[in-house]
């Protein structure tokens, strides 16, 4: 009898990276011969919005919190969410039941042989608060596995340490997305914790073609793709300087993939693509002459497609070091550009992908082997 797997992640956040990582993990596990579903646990639900609203009042100026609390007032029930629905319908295999609260999933938990928690920032307390569903606290029977889960913080606030410890100690295997998360989870649990790739990197570039074929965007000629989220730090002024510098030196036109109202307002002098879908996101990255981004998943997919990349970060010791951790693990840390870096010190346009690809292939094999081992393939 075919064994069943349920994945819990933030699969309905209208963000390209969130959608692609969810699909990729589903795809990879299904290819192993298992029956797999994404547990249709809604994030953000009413509780998460309440957490964000409270933090927005108490943590003044925190851009991550402002992003969460504003995102759904901007897009809920309108343009961006509607753009993601065809992707969900075509590529997701969702659980029959939809869960809209922690209470619902605890009362009637889905039943699988294996439960996989991950990927994305599902263990970031700033996002999930005291919701331990993403740590599989609702599971009654079955093997608990974490794959590429992310805390994305330097420290876990004291009030979260006990619930995190209680839940994570029950896992049969834990693998996370950043080295810093490895250290935090080891400290909390005393368990062996592995460092693995984000699911979006488990699929080689060619395996994304079935998604790219559904894209409906085309930019003629060579272009600099700009994809800025702007919620980790105030990046726009520095991004504009980098973009204009690269345009002067290459003659390429600038194309901005618009994600939010802030994008549209602060990058309005450049040509915009407003139809942000996972397929368009992949297609634009694959065909770009250069990618300039502050996004983890745009960085990941640029590396996967072998594109010249400038990944904008606050600094290399920031609490949110997801991008730098990824680049460093693949030997591409020189593509992490701190916002105070002089333009004349930017790395050259051309990137030598020979060693990056070797490291990526090795880590991809290690990551898939971790899944096979713990899913008992």
The two beta strands, 271-273 and 223-227, are unpaired
End-to-end Cα, the chain, rounded Å: 13
What average pLDDT does range 253-266 have in this prediction?
78
Looking at the domain 4-203+361-374, which fold is it? Answer: Rossmann fold (3.40.50)
Do 3 and 373 form a contact (C-beta atoms < 8 A)? no
Query: How far is CA 87 from its chain centroid?
Result: 16
Residue 194 pLDDT > 60: yes
C-alpha distances out from residue 116 to 296, 312, 324, 351, Å: 21, 31, 25, 35
Instruction: Assess contact for 17 and 120: CB atoms under 8 A.
Output: yes
Q: Which residues pair with 41 in a beta bridge?
A: 99
Determine the pLDDT at residue 60. 43
Q: What mean pLDDT comes out for the span 355-377?
A: 97
For residues 272 and 263, give the distance between their C-alpha atoms in angstroms, rounded to a whole number: 9
The closest of 43, 16, 92, 77 to 276, measured between CA atoms, is 16
Q: Name the segment(s) of the chain with CATH classification 3.40.50.2000.
A: 217-346
Residue, of 47 and 68, whose pLDDT is higher: 47
The number of beta carbons lying within 10 Å of the beta carbon of residue 349 is: 14
- Out of 44-53, 115-124, 236-245, 336-345, pick the least confident: 44-53
Taking a C-beta distance cutoff of 8 angstroms, is the pair 333, 179 a contact? Answer: no
Question: Residues 136-165: what's their mean pLDDT?
Answer: 94
The CATH T-level fold of domain 217-346 is Rossmann fold (3.40.50)
For the cut 70, the answer to whether the pLDDT of residue 68 exceeds it is no
Q: State how far the Cα of 153 lies from the Cα of 182, in Å rounded to an integer.
A: 11
- Mean of the pLDDT values across residues 33-44? 96
Q: In 59-157, where does DSSP find H-type helix?
A: 63-75, 79-91, 102-107, 125-128
Residues 6+ apart with CB under 8 A from 277: 16, 83, 84, 86, 87, 215, 216
pTM given for the model = 0.93
336 contact partners, CB below 8 Å, separation of at least 6:
311, 313, 316, 323, 324, 327, 328
């Amino acid at each position: 009898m075919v064994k069943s797997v349920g994945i819990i992640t933030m699969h309905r956040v209208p963000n390209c990276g969130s959608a692609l990582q969810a699909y990729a993990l589903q795809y990879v596990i299904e290819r192993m011969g298992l029956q797999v579903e994404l547990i249709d646990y809604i994030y953000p639900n009413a509780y998460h919005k309440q957490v964000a609203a409270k933090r927005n009042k108490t943590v003044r100026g925190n851009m991550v919190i402002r992003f969460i609390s504003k995102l759904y007032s901007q897009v809920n029930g309108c343009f961006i969410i509607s753009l993601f629905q065809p992707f969900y319908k075509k590529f997701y295999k969702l659980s029959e039941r939809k869960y809209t609260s922690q209470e619902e999933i605890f009362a009637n938990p889905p039943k699988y042989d294996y439960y996989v928690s991950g990927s994305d920032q599902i263990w970031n307390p700033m996002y999930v608060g005291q919701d331990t569903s993403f740590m599989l606290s609702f599971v009654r029977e079955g093997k608990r596995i974490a794959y590429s889960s992310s805390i994305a913080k330097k420290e876990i606030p004291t009030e979260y340490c006990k619930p995190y410890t209680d839940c994570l100690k029950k896992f049969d295997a834990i693998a996370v997305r950043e080295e810093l998360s490895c250290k935090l989870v080891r400290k909390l649990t005393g368990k062996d914790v592995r460092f693995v790739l984000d699911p979006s990197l488990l699929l080689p570039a060619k395996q994304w073609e079935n998604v790219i074929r559904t894209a409906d965007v085309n930019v003629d000629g060579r272009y600099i793709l700009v994809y800025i989220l702007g919620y980790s730090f105030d990046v726009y002024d520095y991004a504009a300087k980098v973009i204009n510098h690269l345009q002067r030196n290459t003659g390429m036109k600038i194309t901005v993939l618009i994600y939010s109202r802030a994008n549209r307002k602060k990058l309005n002098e450049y040509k915009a693509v407003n139809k942000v879908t996972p397929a368009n996101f992949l297609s634009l990255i694959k065909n770009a002459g250069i990618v300039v981004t502050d996004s983890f998943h745009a960085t990941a997919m640029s590396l996967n497609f072998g594109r010249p990349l400038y990944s904008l970060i606050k600094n290399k010791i920031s609490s949110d070091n997801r991008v730098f951790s990824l680049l460093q693990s693949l030997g591409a840390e020189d593509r992490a550009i701190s916002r105070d870096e002089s333009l004349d010190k930017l790395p050259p346009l051309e990137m030598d992908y020979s060693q990056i690809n070797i490291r990526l292939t090795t880590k991809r094999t290690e990551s898939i082997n971790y899944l096979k081992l713990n899913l008992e393939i």
